Chains A and B, each alone.
Chain A
C-alpha cells in the first residue's frame, strides 16, 4: 500500500516538474538574452551570457522612459480592473439570481462581444471617441478597456454565482436583507476565487494591451508601458538585449499581481462560509 502512494506521488511530481521546466525555460532565456550584447545573441547560441550586462536594465529603463509609462500602465490597469470587477459582478449576479425583464436576451447580447471578433472595430470606436471628445484622454481609454472586458467577466461570474448554494441567500432574504446587501456581503465573498481569477486575467490583458492605447492616445505622457517597448523595435534592426530587458521589466508587475491574487484561489474560504 505504501509503495502505491509513493509511486503515485512520484509520478505526480514528475509530471509537475517536467511541465514546470518547460514553463520556466522561456523566462530564463528571456532574462539570459537581456544580459547579452546584440552581437552575442546573433553569433553565439549559448544558454548563459559570457559577461552579464546588468547595465542593460538601467539603459532600457532610461532609453524607454519607463518611469512615466509604468505609472500610466498602473493607472489604467488598476482603474480598469476595478471598473470591470464591480460592473461585471453586479450584472452577473443579476443574471444569475434575479428576475429581470428580458434576462436571457440581454445576457446573450452582452456576451456577444466575446463571440464576434472584429479586428477592424477599432476604427468606428476611434471615430466615436473623437466625436465624444474622449480621444487622447485617459478616461476614454479606460472606458474602452472596461467595456471590452465586461463580457468575459459576466460570463465567468454568472457560472460561479449560479453554483453557490441558495440556502444562505434565502436565509438572508428571510432575515430582511436587501438584494444588494446579499450581493455585497454574501455572494461576492463566496466568489472570491472567481474574482481573483478575473483580477488576474484582466490585469494581464490591460497591462499588455497595445494597439488601442497607441491609436487612441496621442500625448506621449499618457502612453502605457508597451509603447515604451516600441523604442527597441527598429525598421530593420531590433535591439534584442534591450527589448528583452524591457520585456522583463514589463512582465514583473503582472507576476506580482498574480502572486498576490492567487492566494485567494485557496481552499477553505468556501467551506468556512458554509460552516458559519
Chain B
C-alpha cells in the first residue's frame, strides 16, 4: 500500500488535533456563573458583580448569549448534558418551566423567599414565578424564580402627531369608540395611526388578551381553556371582530401583518405612526432611536359593554432561576438577594431604563416609567391553566387573516373552535 496514502490520511485527521493545542486561558475560577440574554445590560451587570466581589469576596460572572432564540437553544442543550450554570432562565412558558422543574433543573426557593425576601417585590412578577396548589402541571406549589425587573405592555402615543390631527395630547382615547374615531382623524390628517409587531403572533395575542379579560374575565378564560365555553361564543367573536373594526377604520400601518416588533418600534420612533402597542422596554429603545420623541402612554381603551376591568399583559420582566445541581447554589441565591436590594435595583433601573421589581425602588423613576410602574397592578392574574399552544396559534393566525381581510371573524371563531375540539379529542385518546 502506498505510503503517500497513509501520510495523507494521517495528515487530514491530525491537523484538527494540532488545532486544538492551545494554552488554556487561565482565568480565576468563578463561584457563580450566570447565563443571560440581555446584551444591553452586560456592562451594568459586570459593574455590579465587581462591586459584589469587593464587598463579599464571591466572584460572579455574567455571560451573554443573544439573541434570545439562540440563548434558548444553548440552555436546552446544556440541560440535557447536565451542564447548566448556577443561574439561568429557560425563557419558556409555564409548561416548559414545569418540565424543567420536574426534571430537577430548577430549584425551589420558597424557603429563602419566605424569610422576608418575597416582601420586597411587586406581587405580580413574583406570582409569575410561582406555581400554586391548583396548578395543572403537577408541580409542587412554591416559588421557583426571582424577578429582577417588571414590564407591561400598553399603547404609546405620539403627542405631537395627536396635536397635528386635532386630538388632545393630554386626553388619549378612553373607550373603544373614541379609539376608532381617533384613528379616522389621524388618517384624514395623513398620519398612520397604529403600529405593532403583529407579524409576531404573540403580540397579536397580547392585544387580544386585554379584550378577552375585558369581556370574559378571569373565570371566563379558565372556562374556555377547560372547554366549557366555545370559541364561537359571541364574546369571543366580538374580540375577533375588534380587529376587523380596526382595519375598517384604517388604523393599521401598512405591512402590519408581517411586521416584527423591532420595525414597529422604528416606525413609532421616527414619527411615522401615531400609536404603538409595545412594552415598557420601549422607553429605552425609543430613547436610543430618537431622544426627542414626545410621547405618552395609555391603557388599551375599554369596551362599552365590558363587565370586567381592563387588564394588560405584563408583570414579569426578566427573572432568573437557580440550578439545584450546582454546589454553589447558596452563593448564587445570596448574590441575587443583594442584586434585588433597593440600591442595586435603582442602579439597574436608571442605567437600563427598566422598571425595577423591587417596590421600594419605584419611587424615583422618570415619569413614563413611573406610570408603567403604577399600572403593574392592572396586569393579568396568572391562570392555573394555559391553552394548548396549537389552539392559540390558530387563533393568532386567524387574527392575522382578519387584519389582511382574508377571513371574517365568524369564520376564524369556527376554525379556532374546531382546532380546540380536535385537541380535546386527542387528549382523551
> A residues bordering B, Cβ < 8 Å?
38-39, 42-43, 75-76, 79-80, 82-83, 86-87, 90, 122-123, 126-127, 130, 135, 137-139, 142-143, 146, 178-181, 184, 210-211, 214-215, 218-222, 230-238
Q: Could you tell me if A79 and B64 are in contact, using CB atoms closer than 8 angstroms?
A: no
Q: Could you tell me if B77 and A215 are in contact, using CB atoms closer than 8 angstroms?
A: yes
Cα distance, A56 to B194, chains bound together (Å): 34
Contact A180 to B5, CB < 8 A, known contacts A143-B16, A236-B40 = yes
Cα distance, A67 to B8, chains bound together (Å): 31
Q: Across the interface, which residues of B come within 8 angstroms of A220, CB to CB?
A: 25, 63
Tell me the smallest distance from the CB of B191 to a CB of chain A, in Å: 17
Kindly state whether residue B176 has any CB partner on chain A within 8 Å.
no
Q: Could you tell me if A76 and B4 are in contact, using CB atoms closer than 8 angstroms?
A: no
Tell me the smallest distance from the CB of A150 to a CB of chain B, in Å: 11
Q: Across the interface, which residues of A come within 8 angstroms of B80, CB to CB?
A: 123, 126-127
Q: Could you tell me if A139 and B38 are in contact, using CB atoms closer than 8 angstroms?
A: no
**Interface 9-residue window, one of B65-73, B130-138, B163-171, B380-388:** B65-73
**Interface 9-residue window, one of B202-210, B283-291, B400-408:** B283-291
Contact A181 to B19, CB < 8 A, known contacts A135-B81, A230-B39, A238-B262 = no
Kindly state whether residue B12 has any CB partner on chain A within 8 Å.
yes
Kindly state whether residue B17 has any CB partner on chain A within 8 Å.
yes
Contact A233 to B19, CB < 8 A, known contacts A38-B288, A42-B270, A123-B77 = no
Tell me the smallest distance from the CB of B327 to a CB of chain A, in Å: 18
Q: Across the interface, which residues of B come within 8 angstroms of A82, CB to CB?
A: 11-12, 15
Given A42-B270, A146-B16, A221-B24, 9 other A-B residues pairs in contact with their CB atoms under 8 A = A83-B16, A86-B8, A86-B11, A126-B80, A181-B4, A214-B74, A230-B64, A233-B66, A235-B68
Q: Could you tell me if B13 and A235 are in contact, using CB atoms closer than 8 angstroms?
A: no
Q: Could you tell me if B19 and A234 are in contact, using CB atoms closer than 8 angstroms?
A: no
Q: Could you tell me if B76 and A123 are in contact, using CB atoms closer than 8 angstroms?
A: yes
Chain A residue at minimal CB-CB distance from B6: A180
Kindly state whether residue B266 has any CB partner on chain A within 8 Å.
yes
Chain B, range 279-305, C-beta contacts under 8 Å to A: 281-282, 284-285, 288-290
Chain B, range 2-35, C-beta contacts under 8 Å to A: 2, 4-5, 8-9, 11-13, 15-20, 22, 24-25
Q: Across the interface, which residues of A come within 8 angstroms of B18, CB to CB?
A: 79
Contact A219 to B25, CB < 8 A, known contacts A139-B17, A214-B70, A234-B66 = yes
Q: Across the interface, which residues of B come within 8 angstroms of A42, CB to CB?
A: 266, 269-270, 289-290
Tell me the smallest distance from the CB of B333 to a CB of chain A, in Å: 23
Tell me the smallest distance from the CB of B38 to a CB of chain A, in Å: 5
Cα distance, A250 to B281, chains bound together (Å): 30
Q: Could you tell me if A184 and B20 are in contact, using CB atoms closer than 8 angstroms?
A: no
Q: Could you tell me if B73 and A230 are in contact, using CB atoms closer than 8 angstroms?
A: no
Kindly state whether residue B45 has any CB partner on chain A within 8 Å.
no
Chain A at the B interface: mostly helix, strand, loop or mixed?
A: helix
Q: Could you tell me if B40 and A79 are in contact, using CB atoms closer than 8 angstroms?
A: no
CB contact between A142 and one of B1, B9, B19, B70 (< 8 Å): that residue: B19
Q: Across the interface, which residues of A come within 8 angstroms of B122, CB to CB?
A: none
Cα distance, A180 to B8, chains bound together (Å): 10
Which of B15, B16, B281, B289 has the most C-beta atoms of chain A within 10 angstroms of its own C-beta? B16
Which of A122, A123, A184, A234 has the most C-beta atoms of chain B within 10 angstroms of its own C-beta? A234
Tell me the smallest distance from the CB of B355 to a CB of chain A, in Å: 14
List 10 contacting pairs A-B, 8 Å CB cutoff, sorted by A.
A83-B13, A142-B16, A181-B2, A215-B74, A230-B66, A230-B70, A234-B66, A235-B38, A236-B285, A238-B262
Q: Could you tell me if A231 and B15 are in contact, using CB atoms closer than 8 angstroms?
A: no
Tell me the smallest distance from the CB of B413 to a CB of chain A, in Å: 33
Cα distance, A138 to B25, chains bound together (Å): 14
Q: Could you tell me if B81 and A127 are in contact, using CB atoms closer than 8 angstroms?
A: yes
Kindly state whether residue B37 has any CB partner on chain A within 8 Å.
yes
Q: Could you tell me if A235 and B39 are in contact, using CB atoms closer than 8 angstroms?
A: yes
Tell me the smallest distance from the CB of A37 to a CB of chain B, in Å: 11
Q: Across the interface, which residues of A come within 8 angstroms of B9, CB to CB?
A: 90
Tell me the smallest distance from the CB of B254 to a CB of chain A, in Å: 16
Cα distance, A126 to B75, chains bound together (Å): 12
Q: Across the interface, which residues of B come within 8 angstroms of A236, CB to CB?
A: 40, 262, 265, 281-282, 284-285
CB contact between B77 and one of A126, A138, A139, A234 (< 8 Å): that residue: A126
Q: Across the interface, which residues of A come within 8 angstroms of B4, CB to CB?
A: 180-181, 184
Q: Could you tell me if A39 and B66 are in contact, using CB atoms closer than 8 angstroms?
A: no
Cα distance, A178 to B8, chains bound together (Å): 15
Tell me the smallest distance from the CB of A93 to a CB of chain B, in Å: 11
Tell me the smallest distance from the CB of A275 to a CB of chain B, in Å: 26
Chain B residue at minimal CB-CB distance from A82: B15
Chain B, range 80-117, C-beta contacts under 8 Å to A: 80-81, 83
Q: Across the interface, which residues of B come within 8 angstroms of A210, CB to CB?
A: 70
Binary A-proximity of B230-241 (CB < 8 A = 1, otherwise 0): 000000000000
Tell me the smallest distance from the CB of B185 to a CB of chain A, in Å: 25
Chain B residue at minimal CB-CB distance from A124: B80
Q: Could you tell me if A215 and B73 are in contact, using CB atoms closer than 8 angstroms?
A: yes
What 6 A-B pairs have minimum CB-CB distances, sorted nearest first?
A138-B20, A86-B12, A142-B16, A234-B40, A139-B20, A180-B2
Q: Across the interface, which residues of A come within 8 angstroms of B37, CB to CB?
A: 235
Contact A221 to B64, CB < 8 A, known contacts A143-B16, A184-B4 = no
Q: Could you tell me if B12 and A235 are in contact, using CB atoms closer than 8 angstroms?
A: no
Cα distance, A42 to B292, chains bound together (Å): 13
Chain A residue at minimal CB-CB distance from B266: A42
Q: Across the interface, which residues of B come within 8 angstroms of A127, CB to CB?
A: 80-81
Contact A237 to B77, CB < 8 A, known contacts A43-B270, A79-B15, A137-B20 = no
Cα distance, A219 to B20, chains bound together (Å): 13
Chain B residue at minimal CB-CB distance from A136: B83
CB contact between A237 and one of B2, B15, B24, B40 (< 8 Å): that residue: B40
Cα distance, A219 to B265, chains bound together (Å): 35
Cα distance, A146 to B76, chains bound together (Å): 24
Binary A-proximity of B343-374 (CB < 8 A = 1, otherwise 0): 00000000000000000000000000000000
Contact A90 to B67, CB < 8 A, known contacts A123-B76, A230-B39, A238-B262 = no
Which of B11, B19, B74 has the most C-beta atoms of chain A within 10 angstroms of its own C-beta? B19
Chain B, range 236-294, C-beta contacts under 8 Å to A: 262, 265-266, 269-270, 281-282, 284-285, 288-290
Q: Could you tell me if A237 and B284 are in contact, using CB atoms closer than 8 angstroms?
A: yes
Q: Across the interface, which residues of A come within 8 angstroms of B64, CB to CB?
A: 230-231
